[in-house]
Amino acid sequence: MTKTIKWGILSSAKIAENSMVPAIHSASNSELHAVASASGKAAETAASWKAETSYDSYEALLQDETIDAVYIPLPNALHKEWAIKAMHHGKHVLLEKPAAVTSEDIQEIREAGKETGMTWMEAFMYQFHPQHAFVKEQISQNVIGDVRRIRASFSFNLDLDSSNIRLDPELGGGSLYDVGCYCVHVSRFLLDAEPTHVFSDGRYKDGVDISSTALLTFDEADAVLDCSFQESPLNRYEVVGTKGRIEVPFAFRPDQNPNDGLGEVFVKGEDGAVTKHETFAADQFTLQIEHFSQCLLDGTAPSYTPESTHNNMKVIEALYTSQQQSSM
């Protein structure tokens, strides 16, 4: 019985090159078999990424029967099409976030998974980092009392005059889709709940939100979220309780922490003094690949479910609807 999963990658996207390719190579149960690129440089990319073979079309890669699973980092609007095609070719799918641009699209992906028997998961890599398990442990042990508020931010500076796909409404561009989705996800993840009401507003350029602010109301807590393409880099969250707070300064990209790329968690008491400071060394991309690959080898379901992916997109859709309704 095979002990490793053979991976294929659809496209030569930077997220694949910088993060997922090294993760596959470092994972104990995975190997990079092939890459497909429509740019005409598939062979060059495969050599650079140390993949065994290359294909000049996505369809050709999907026809390779030796590939067990594919990672899809295509533009957001193309996720549904190629995820469904991949599963109908007998491939399991790790789908870059957001899994699609509407909840209806995600439901179609879910149905394809059920029809084909293939496993798929949205690639919210951050949740596999051990710093978040520590945070959830502190919450469950009532260290900060009852959680009343979550604040989450994810932003960076993007050239708004560039041809970046994040700025193309036809390809699923927008800050809420790109980085705000993490803020939505972490609020649901930490509270183990779904919001009952949402409100959002955004700043737009050429049909996409370049900044968004949102309020999610849960039964016992609120989440205040913000994301942007026009602010200095920030990726953090704070959990506020009745007896203290927890701060995670590099929540979604701990590798950007100047302190050796460590995950860090600060627990503070009511007086604001730090009562615990823990650091965590881990590669969340590798942990994600190892988790998904092991699920395929064991025939078990990933910890992050299609249902949760569907629910995350329903919240994002509601936030965009709120923005449309709030515009003058």
Query: What would the pLDDT profile of 43-72 be if each residue is shown by its tens digit?
Result: 999 999 999 999 999 999 999 999 999 999
Whether residues 184 and 243 share a domain: the answer is: yes
Please list the ranges in the chain whose pLDDT falls under 50. Answer: 1
Domain contains 265: yes
Whether residues 64 and 38 share a domain: the answer is: yes
Whether residues 78 and 151 share a domain: the answer is: no
Whether residues 86 and 160 share a domain: the answer is: no
Domain contains 299: no
pLDDT computed for residue 80 by the predictor: 98
Number of compact structural domains in the chain: 2
Domain contains 15: yes
Whether residues 270 and 238 share a domain: the answer is: yes
Around Cβ 299, how many Cβ atoms within 10 Å? 7
Domain contains 19: yes
Whether residues 143 and 276 share a domain: the answer is: yes
Whether residues 113 and 146 share a domain: the answer is: no
Q: Tell me the CA distances in angstroms from 248 to 4, 82, 129, one per residue in order.
A: 34, 35, 12
pLDDT computed for residue 2 by the predictor: 60
Stated pTM of the model: 0.96
Residue pLDDT, tens place only, 300-327: 999 999 999 999 999 999 999 999 997 5
pLDDT computed for residue 1 by the predictor: 46
pLDDT computed for residue 39 by the predictor: 82
Whether residues 136 and 277 share a domain: the answer is: yes
Domain contains 298: no
- Report the Cα 8 to chain-centroid distance in Å: 19
Around Cβ 17, how many Cβ atoms within 10 Å? 17
Between CA 293 and CA 174 the distance in angstroms is: 30
Containing domain of residue 142, as a range?
A: 130-281
Domain contains 208: yes
Whether residues 119 and 152 share a domain: the answer is: no
Domain contains 106: yes
Between CA 148 and CA 146 the distance in angstroms is: 6
Q: Tell me the CA distances in angstroms from 246 to 138, 140, 176, 263, one per residue in order.
A: 9, 13, 24, 13
Between CA 62 and CA 67 the distance in angstroms is: 8
Sign of CA dihedral 228, 229, 234, 236: positive
pLDDT computed for residue 144 by the predictor: 98
CATH of the domain at 87: 3.40.50.720
**Domain closes at, from 103, 125, 147:** 125
User: Which residue is listed with tokens 């059920």?
Assistant: 114
Produce one character per residue of 104-114: b if its CB has 16 or more CB atoms within 10 Å, e if not: ebbbbbbebbe
Whether residues 29 and 161 share a domain: the answer is: no
Whether residues 119 and 154 share a domain: the answer is: no
Domain contains 308: no
CATH of the domain at 216: 3.30.360.10
**Domain closes at, from 105, 125, 145:** 125
**Domain closes at, from 74, 108, 125:** 125
Whether residues 194 and 250 share a domain: the answer is: yes
